[in-house]
Amino acid sequence: MSGPERIERHPVLGEVGGRGEPVRFSFDGRPLGGRAGEPVGVALLAAGIRALRRSRAGEPRGIHCAIGQCMECRVEIDGLGTRRACLTPLRDGMVVRTHRDPGSADG
């Protein structure tokens, strides 16, 4: 479950991916795989998914800073509301959806 888009080591967060057990999760109904404990955003990038939400103007948004500061990577996880994909640890069976609230944060 590695690929050219998988982040293994982050300059600020250190090691972030690839060491946990393989898990299954979904993004907008699409079944995907990743590693337990790696950030959801790392698994999505490894699967080739870059757009996690849209701005008010309809522009795609995704991982930007990858340290939880910019809020560009907001997603909905397990129907529990907004989470940052760059910081949320992946676990088996997780249901991740595109963030649908363009009225928040960036405009």
List the 22-27 sheet strands across, edge first.
30-35, 22-27, 95-98, 74-77, 82-84
Burial 1-21 (b: 16+ CB within 10 A, else e): eeeeebbeeeeeeeebbbeee
71 falls within a domain: yes
pLDDT of residue 1: 43
pLDDT of residue 69: 87
Number of structural domains found in the chain: 1
One-letter identity of residue 71? M
Query: pLDDT truncated to tens, each residue of the chain (107 aa)?
Result: 445 566 666 666 566 555 789 999 999 999 999 999 989 999 999 999 999 999 889 999 998 888 888 899 999 999 998 999 999 999 999 999 999 876 555 44
pLDDT of residue 65: 84
Q: Residue 41: which CATH number?
A: 3.10.20.440
33 falls within a domain: yes
1 falls within a domain: no
76 falls within a domain: yes
Give alpha helix (H) positions in 14-66: 40-46
Q: What domain range is 36 assigned to?
A: 9-97
pTM given for the model: 0.80
